[in-house]
Amino acid sequence: MGAYILRRLLLMIPTLFGIMAISFTVIQFAPGGPVEQVIARVTGQGGDATDRISGGGGDTGGQSFDAGGDATSQYRGAQGLDPEFIRQLEVQFGFDKPPLERFFNMLWDYARFDFGESFFRDISVLDLIIEKMPVSISLGLWLTLISYAISIPLGIRKAVKDGSTFDVWTSGVVIVAYAIPGFLFAILLMVLFAGGSFWDFFPLRGLTSENWDELSLGGKILDYFWHLTLPLTAMVLSAFATTTLLTKNSFLEEIRKQYVITARAKGLSERQVLYRHVFRNAMLIIIAGFPGAFISAFFTGSLLIENIFSLDGLGLLGYRSVLDRDYPVVFANLYIFSLIGLLVSLISDLTYTWIDPRIDFERREV
């Protein structure tokens, strides 16, 4: 197993390199880089991204500008600006160096987990990501736990009652829930229960209230879940569908195997057969997939929910960073999320062997 883990860890290096190289190359052709963002603001044509410029530069990411001649001719809208000002912007953002040099400098820094500073926020990228993580962890963790708490019992019950009225109507409910877009349901919840056109029961901003520090421990817990109720409800609506059907099909496959028939022939009750024999084998794929499900809920699918309920998490951070061309934040998010995804994939495989020692990846590769 040690050799298998080592091989998987070594394979992460070229995988990460490929992800970063492709993304960096695409960025070179993306119009409206940080320099152009500043120029647009100076000339009165841009948005508010450059209002947050901190004066920090760096070698992380960026857009390549190789045209010759006057520096201002390289940028749309730069006519009439002092060429020295443009050159200072290039140095500030690290664009005075060739793209290949910037790329390898970025990889060297990232290998040491040095992600530099945000272009447009006066804060380091790592501190910025850590600042936004509580929202994403809250949504991802509770979404995964709640969806599994619903999916596993429901899937087992559907497998036991396969073909019954209960199985048919619950399948209909699951499919309909899966088909409803989470953001539309979030808007409906907001209109109904968050001061829209009807009731005003739930808050619409942040994870905690303004008087959080004044609350008792019990009050803080209630306040925290009070803020999470609507976002989690909107996200859970369709989250449990896939796991429910996967649980059902996994149990059905095991129930029809010969060892189950033998266990029944020995006089064991259906409950004993189900939970002593079927459960461990059927739950293998579901439990092993838990790390991946958490990471999926943690990093994806929450952007619209965060926008609707004004939750400042990683999804919203990534979206705004792309719009602002804040490349250090964009590339740091990509690198960290890709690395975590690869590690979680390895953990999922190791979970298989922990749950069922009969699985041996090293023997399979020989």
Residues β-bridged to residue 53: none
CA distance 336 to 327: 14
Is the CB of residue 159 less than 8 Å from the CB of residue 225? no
- pLDDT top residue among 59 and 244: 244
pLDDT at 78 over 80: no
Is the CB of residue 246 less than 8 Å from the CB of residue 285? yes
Walk me through the domains of the chain, giving residue ranges and CATH numbers.
16-125 (no CATH), 129-324 (1.10.3720.10)
> Which amino acid, residue 356?
D
Long-range contacts of 219-227 (CB under 8 A, 24+ apart): 224/138, 226/202, 227/202, 227/203
Q: What token pair was written down for 91? A: 């140095």
pTM: 0.72
**Cα(first)–Cα(last) distance of the chain, in Å?**
12
pLDDT at 170 over 50: yes
Residues β-bridged to residue 200: 194
CA distance 61 to 109: 12
The structure tokens 């008792």 sit at: 216
Q: What's residue 46's pLDDT? A: 54
Strand, coil or helix: what is 117? Answer: strand
Other beta carbons within 10 Å of 176: 12
- pLDDT top residue among 103 and 92: 103
- pLDDT top residue among 151 and 31: 151
Which of 100-114, 199-213, 239-253 reaches the highest mean pLDDT?
Answer: 100-114
Sequential DSSP letters for 162-218: TTSHHHHHHHHHHHHHHHS-HHHHHHHHHHHHBSSSS-B-S--SSSS-TTGGGS-HH
Per cent of the chain over pLDDT 70 is 80
Least confident among 69-78, 115-124, 298-307: 69-78
The phi and psi torsions of 111 (rounded to 5 degrees) equal -60, -25
Q: What's residue 361's pLDDT? A: 62
CA distance 154 to 224: 28
Q: What token pair was written down for 281? A: 């084998």
CA distance 290 to 204: 30
Helices and strands of the chain, counted as H and E runs: 17, 0
DSSP 8-state class, residue 358: T
Residues 6+ apart with CB under 8 A from 209: 203, 215, 223, 227
Q: Calculate the dihedral angle through the C-alpha atoms of 314, 344, 11, 63, rounding to the nearest 10 degrees.
A: -10
Residues 6+ apart with CB under 8 A from 206: 227, 310, 311, 312
Is the CB of residue 157 less than 8 Å from the CB of residue 163? no
CA distance 244 to 91: 54
The structure tokens 């390549």 sit at: 64
Residue pLDDT, tens place only, 266-323: 888 878 888 777 887 777 777 777 776 777 766 655 677 888 888 888 888 888 888 8
Among positive and negative, which fits the CA dihedral 322, 328, 334, 336?
negative
The phi and psi torsions of 219 (rounded to 5 degrees) equal -65, -40
Using 50, 70 and 90 to split pLDDT, how confident is the model at 168?
A: very high
Long-range contacts of 205-209 (CB under 8 A, 24+ apart): 205/309, 205/310, 206/310, 206/311, 206/312, 207/134, 207/135, 207/138, 207/311
Using 50, 70 and 90 to split pLDDT, how confident is the model at 54?
A: very low
- pLDDT top residue among 328 and 360: 328
